[in-house]
Amino acid sequence: MSKPDWQKVWFAKFNACIGSVRTNLVRRKHSDDPTCPCCGELETTEHIYQCKSANMQAAYNVHMEELTSHLRATTSKAITDSIIEVCNATRELRECELDQEWDQTLLDVATVQISVGQRALLGGRWPTRWIEQQKAYNNRTRSKKSPEIWLARTICTTHLHSGEIETIVTRTICTTYLHSGEIETIVTVNITVTKGSNIACSLTNGSEMISEGGSNTVE
């Protein structure tokens, strides 16, 4: 099985809470020990992202450096800091901390992202207001780049390490805007990623095509 196929299977199991974490293995009678082999705490699906062992923290730090590099090259400092804070706050099970450079709209979208949980963050369920924030940044910098493709690349960067994309990866990501517990807008981002080629991205709302385009090559 190729690495992209493995990743898609892993994320499907992760989001459905049926992966081979210790608590599931005990429930299936494949193990007698429900604790994490890295830190000794109960190993649930959520614990995979929250484990604070030295090895897991080191792996998390490496991945966050990669995500930070991507964001610093493509968006504003405020949006970069807010997404990094969302990742850290989700991992640490706390509310996001307001930075002086954030406006209330940016704080609101970060708060919504945290509220939908870590499986939404890692699985690609991101509020569409991230696109609105990036569009405003593009307008200020007079950039003609697509904010939808920026979001697609950012979502990919949260779970695909550079250098590991060897063949085509196609993901369909349902991104929702949540308000008062109700889903007001559902946007589907269809992403095709090929190493050495362009990212192809189409954005649809129901059956209506909103936008379509490509981005720079994946190195």
Can you give the pLDDT of all 219 residues of the chain as single tens digits? 344 677 778 778 888 888 889 999 999 999 999 999 999 999 999 998 999 999 999 999 999 999 999 999 999 999 999 999 999 999 999 988 877 767 888 989 999 999 998 888 888 889 999 999 999 999 999 999 999 999 988 988 876 433 333 323 333 333 333 333 444 443 444 444 443 444 444 444 444 433 444 443 333
148 located within any domain = yes
**Residue 91 contacts residue 63 (beta carbons within 8 Å):** no
Instruction: Compute the half-sphere exposure of residue 135: CA atoms within 13 Å on the CB side of its CA.
Output: 6
The SS3 of residue 73 is helix
In a domain, 162, yes or no: yes
Flag whether 180 is in a domain: yes
Do the domain assignments include residue 22? no
Number of domains making up the chain: 1
Q: How far apart are CA 124 and CA 173, in angstroms?
A: 6
Question: Which is nearest to 155 in space by CA: 116, 191, 183?
Answer: 191
| 63 located within any domain | yes
What pLDDT shows up at residue 214?
Answer: 44
Q: Is residue 26 part of a domain?
A: no
- pTM more than 0.75: no
Environment class of residue 92 by beta-carbon count within 10 Å: exposed (0-12), middle (13-18) or buried (19+)?
A: exposed
How far, in whole angstroms, is CA 64 from its chain's centroid?
11
Burial letters 174-197, b for 16+ CB under 10 A, else e: ebbbbeeeeeeeebebebbbbbee
Distance, C-alpha 52 to centroid of its chain: 20
pLDDT at 119: 84
pLDDT number for residue 4: 60
In a domain, 1, yes or no: no
Enclosing domain of residue 139: 52-217
pLDDT at 9: 81
Give me the amino acid identity at 85: E
